[in-house]
A and B are shown apart, each in its own frame.
Chain A
Amino acid sequence: MASLVIFELKKMLGRRVTQVSLGVLFALSLLFMGLNVVQQAAVNPAGDPSMLSGTAAIAQQRADAEQCAGPITDEAVAAVVGEFQTFLDEEGEVKAPYDDPATPEGEQFRAWYHTHYQYLNLVLGPWMQGYETPDVVAVRVNTAEPLDVYGQAAAKLAATLADPDGRLTYTPTEQAFWLIRYDEVPKPVEYGYAGGWDDVLDCLGFLLFAMMAVVLACAPVFTGEYQQRTDAVVLATRCGKTKLPWAKVVAAVLLATAAYGLFALAIVGVPLVFFGADGGALPVQIRSLTGAWGLTVAQAVAVGVGLGYAALLALLAVTLLLSARLRSSMAIFAIGIAVLVAPLLVPSIQNNVANHLLYLLPYFALDASTLLGPVSYAAGPLVLDYHATLFTVYAAAFLICAPLAARTFAHHQVA
């Protein structure tokens, strides 16, 4: 068996299409991850130059986050919003003399606003409706009375869950499920710098490149034998219909795992090196206070990468099944790539069922907003959260399609 697996790997790695697709897609991933560092931007509170970029911007983001670090309590929010309000009039406009950038007061406001911008956005999130900016929201918040940040966040979450016009709609059981989840999130949320992990979460989508490479490399696994007319030779041997189909599946899984590992290393490693690996233990609520998942950012990255791997294996198994059934690698490439990138072409829709189905695609599984959003699948009283559903669906796809692919090849008729 081991020698058959080695020969199968040799066949796959020997193909020009494997070499080129792996090489090109890996280079692209590195390029995008590099650009992601180079193109970081931050306002320079010192004023000259007014904008920072690259590693300087990253250092500024770290400084901004660290000055606001600490638990996000009602008092802390009241304090920062109160301070913000001192710069604003009743309409939320910046008042004189802070509105004139030429004055020292204008300079002072500019520095304060930009170094607090991320934090303000986060803590004012529970009061925001749609895409509002912090200054519009800040004047609405009455800091004279005690605030209830998490109560406000829970109310916002409840409103989202009850919204009949949202991208997803929720059954009463699902709504209760998520509100209980939210209740269980440790509070107050600890704020701090977790730039590396945060950036990885935003870049998880690049793992789709690994999946594309694997589809391209593994599409010919079975169909290549039909196309090259080697099927008659190999199927007529002792192990041709027993061990060989499985050796092919194992070899494909090994290749896929190695390729995914390499891509994951780049996509997780580059941000952690350039943005820093600290803050991994901070909760995902530092991205949004209404987040209902009880995960740290490092755990969220692990879940994303892990689900990406499950998605990869599922996609691989489907690719292998198509490979055993179809006579053309091109058709398989087309189907595989369509599954991966079709969501880019589908306009955002409001249909609950369609979205629940779309969200099963790797594209959404690797999008932090869906991955860490309140997504669940309900069947009567049973509610399965997004991560468990994805894992179940991907595992089922693999466990069904991989043996079916092997079986289809073993039953192939040479004619």
Chain B
Amino acid sequence: MAVMEYIDAIRLAMKEEMEKDENVFILGEDVGVKGGVFTTTKGLQAQFGEDRVMDTPLAESAIAGVAIGAAMVGMKPIAEMQYCDFMLPATNQIISEAAKIRYRSNNDWNCPIVVRAPIGGGVFGGLYHSQCAESIFFGTPGLKIVAPFTAYDAKGLLKAAIHDPDPVLYFENKKCYKMIKGDVPLDDYTVPIGEANMLREGSDITVIGYSMPLHFCLQAAEELEAEEGITARILDLRTLQPLDKNAIIESVRHTGKVLIVHEDNKTGGVGAEVSAIISEECLFELDAPIMRLCSPDVPAMPISPTMEKFYMLTKDKVKEAMRQLAIY
């Protein structure tokens, strides 16, 4: 066990897998000499050489395409998109090729790629460095999508993603990189893809979320319990696709009141699907309308600090929403 930052846990997962399996390699913009713009891959090229930690041209479509090709002949590529905002040129490769290879070839071929991409704002990054791309890929059968929130999950999910025989999109939250620290075992463990994680027990409301905003949810829940006696059950989805339906349903049944929280904007986000599952499965257990707290439906993250603050979720916004649901 060691206490480490979220970003260190990601790096450690890649390092361990590369030491274990020589088919694992990394490719992406500035991942080699520079060690990634966030230092996620720092030191890996020095350890594993240029052939296994490859700097690529600024062409995301090529990064994904090369990774898919390599994966189909037995390699285990980890493709880094510098920001998920830059990932869109690669969507055709990811959605039309990677996601469909197993289906199209009637199980003859598979595509074990991992695409890592940082999501999230609040870093004064503006339009091109703050987006959450999960809703773009969410709902594409054939893709798995994970979005860890703790350092423990960051390592365990990335290792599970690398082991997975099919394409996995690994959305890491750039605000978590340095902010989230936690105990991470130094041994070889994985966090299974497809399993949600109950972070906190409670009887008044259920909060369902993923990635960085859970940090606010946990803080708000502690405060609400101490100040007003409201107890919240918090479920970390961890895997966005496939969603852990049973865990969602189970967590709703305990309280009948659900708040879904994510940083991606509200319309068509992951929360919409979670909400639909709940209304399909839990109608007679609901005690309040399903609530969603998400970023507003505006085209882009503002660069102005004041407006960025308005756009982003905060502990206070989450707390207020949780309180409103509790007193409903």
Query: Are A and B associated in one complex?
Result: no
Interface residues of B (CB under 8 A from A): none
Q: Which residues of chain A have a CB within 8 Å of any CB of chain B?
A: none
